[in-house]
Chains A and B, each alone.
Chain A
Amino acid sequence: MTNILNEIGIENYIFLSVILFCIGVFGVLYRRNAIIVFMSIEIMLNAVNLLFVAFSTYHQDAQGQVFVFFSMAVAAAEVAVGLAILVSIFRNLGSIDINNLKNLKG
């Protein structure tokens, strides 16, 4: 495992994670469908998980991998709450387009 990391180099892992993270960020900023926004947030979190595992191998230290479990559990809880909110919005509005949510302004 360390040999592969040495061959590829930790920098490339960082670049990959940053690119994935940015894809997630732009998804959150530009997509208007709430489900796709949720998926973009998941991409952001998973990009970080990937980097955690890479760093964990790089440092020969298990803490990073354990942290990934925590962040996965948190992401699952977060999405559960998010989908529940989405269901109640769909019941009220009949659509999950973020552009329809314009009641609060000032």
Chain B
Amino acid sequence: MNTLIAIIGLGILCLLFEIFDARKAIIPIVVIGLLAILGLDISEYNNPNTYYNNMLIVGKFSSGFSGLFIILTIFLVSLSHKFYENHQTKISDFIAIKIFLLAGAVAMVSFGNLAMFFLGIEVLSIALYVLASSNRLSIKSNEAGLKYFLMGSFASGIILFGICLIYGAMGSFDVTEISELSRSAELPIWFPIGIVLVFIGMLFKIAAVPFHFWAPDVYEGSPALTTALMSTLAKVVAVATLYKLVKTMNADISPAFQLIIVIVSIASMTVGNIMALRQVNVKRMLAFSGISHAGFMLMTLLSISKSSGTLLYYTSAYALAGIAAFSVILYVCKTKENEDITNFHGLGKNNPLMAAILTASLLSMAGIPVFGGFFAKLFLFNQAIQAEFIALVIIAVINSIISVGYYFKLILAMYTKEPNETKIPTPTVYYAVAVIAIVLNIALGLFPSFVLDLL
């Protein structure tokens, strides 16, 4: 609760800096403020509580995930200064939107009432529509923004209709009340329809097959920093919210629902990986890779009572690798028009450290040992085997092997091809963010129990 209020306060403060003409101070102060909020969030970890008639439920789950979101936002805000170098007059708007987006994200994982859930999802989405089309002179960014807007508000409409039917069946928006009622009485047919509609809307938001078609276009067209935000923060938020929603609203999942999750998960992994193999644009490739990772993350829904630690671990490993990879992409493609793979030729000779970081983060996403991604997949598969979904695990392992194919395409381009231009200087902040993110990722791999036992 205090976390949420502090984040919104920081966002407003950020807008006030614009008025007082203190733009240079914005990024350092916001980073310090977010670190303080992270401390506040940790202090809430041990004090589970509910606020405003169960509107917000603060507990281990919400504060664990909020901590991850705040860390990711710190990285994204620190990257902003260099990225918006030519738009210094608008920097406070960009930062403020990112902070309000974080407020939406925190509201989404700590909801106790469907009204809060809906408001959180809308705050997050509207902020993302603005960021996706924020490069207003580029027609690609406009197109990405409009596509994201249309798909996103369409999905919001479906979620709203689902919430309405659930309310009609139960007469309440409170999730604990709904889950109690759903066990006892004879239910109207509207209730399962409502649950299915909300589930479909959330699959839109996390870009799982068959609702993934917007993701590659939007990721490719948006400014690179927004793509980084979407593929790390927004995806993690949506998955965590879906997990919490399914966990609180229907704790004992029926076999038919499990079958749907298995099918969606297999389809997401396979389609994402196979489509990623033939991409030449790195952002587009990472979009498809994100779709396949959404499939992996959905596997946690199958053993829902005990997999929240695994989900936090998987999402942290994925998001930290994503941040490291995107800070290298931001550096390489800063002066380029597009993000084609040819821009990465010879990076291993020009800038060995950046090439090594990108290699490490891609290996983590592919699931090679030492990095966090490997252990995340290990624990995930372990839990799926314990829940007796052997076939799903076999397909998931095959998919991990396929994914190595396209990650290595990029790695080979960096190390075996000749560089097509001379070295360009690296801003230190890109180095710092990339190194810290990848070090955190490796630390996750070395000390997995730290995060796994959090929830």
Contact = CB atoms under 8 A, between A and B. Distances in A.
Contacts of A21: 157, 161
A84 B163 CA distance: 28
Contact of B146 (A28, A52, A86): A86
A52 B60 CA distance: 33
A98 to B, nearest CB: 8
Interface string A71-86: 1001001100110111
Given A74-B118, A81-B149, A104 B164 contact: no
Contact of A64 (B142, B156, B167): B167
B143 A78 contact: no
Contacts of B190: 14
B297 to A, nearest CB: 24
Contacts of A89: 139, 142-143, 146
Contacts of A85: 129, 133, 142, 145-146, 149
B157 A41 contact: yes
A88 B284 CA distance: 24
A47 B284 CA distance: 36
Which of A17, A59, A101 has the most B CB atoms < 10 Å from its CB? A101
A22 to B, nearest CB: 10
B154 A28 contact: yes
A101 B145 CA distance: 11
Interface in A29-57: 34, 37, 41, 44-45, 47-48, 51-52, 55
B123 to A, nearest CB: 9
B279 interface: yes
Interface stretch (B214-222, B258-266, B307-315, B401-409): B214-222
Given A14-B190, A85-B149, A106-B284, A48 B161 contact: yes
B140 A63 contact: no
A70 B107 CA distance: 15
B168 A55 contact: yes
A102 to B, nearest CB: 8
Contact of B122 (A64, A74, A93, A106): A74
B284 A55 contact: no
Contacts of A77: 122, 126
A70 B118 contact: yes
A88 B164 contact: no
A51 B146 contact: no
Interface string A87-106: 01100110000100101111
B130 interface: yes
B48 interface: no
Nearest to B278: A106
B143 A101 contact: yes
Nearest to A77: B126
Contacts of B395: none
B156 A78 contact: yes
A104 B279 CA distance: 13
Contact of B126 (A14, A78, A101): A78
A64 B142 CA distance: 36
A61 B157 contact: no
A93 to B, nearest CB: 7
B198 to A, nearest CB: 12
B115 A70 contact: yes
A55 B164 contact: yes
B173 interface: yes
A58 interface: yes
Contacts of B281: 106
A59 B163 CA distance: 15
Nearest to A105: B217
A56 B53 CA distance: 19
A67 interface: yes
Given A61-B172, A67-B115, A92-B139, 11 more contacts: A24-B157, A48-B164, A58-B168, A64-B167, A67-B118, A74-B119, A74-B156, A77-B122, A78-B122, A104-B140, A104-B144
Q: State the 10 A-B residue pairs at the shortest beta-carbon distance, nearest first.
A: A44-B157, A59-B171, A104-B217, A55-B168, A88-B136, A101-B143, A74-B122, A89-B142, A85-B145, A48-B160
Interface of A: 10, 14, 17, 21, 24-25, 28, 34, 37, 41, 44-45, 47-48, 51-52, 55, 58-59, 61, 63-64, 66-67, 70-71, 74, 77-78, 81-82, 84-86, 88-89, 92-93, 98, 101, 103-106
Interface of B: 115, 118-119, 122, 126, 129-130, 133, 136-137, 139-140, 142-147, 149-150, 153-154, 156-157, 160-161, 163-165, 167-168, 171-173, 190, 216-217, 220-221, 279-281, 284
27 contacts: A25-B154, A41-B150, A47-B161, A48-B164, A55-B168, A59-B168, A61-B172, A63-B115, A67-B163, A67-B173, A71-B160, A74-B118, A74-B119, A78-B129, A82-B149, A84-B130, A85-B146, A88-B133, A88-B136, A93-B142, A101-B142, A101-B147, A104-B144, A104-B147, A104-B220, A106-B280, A106-B284
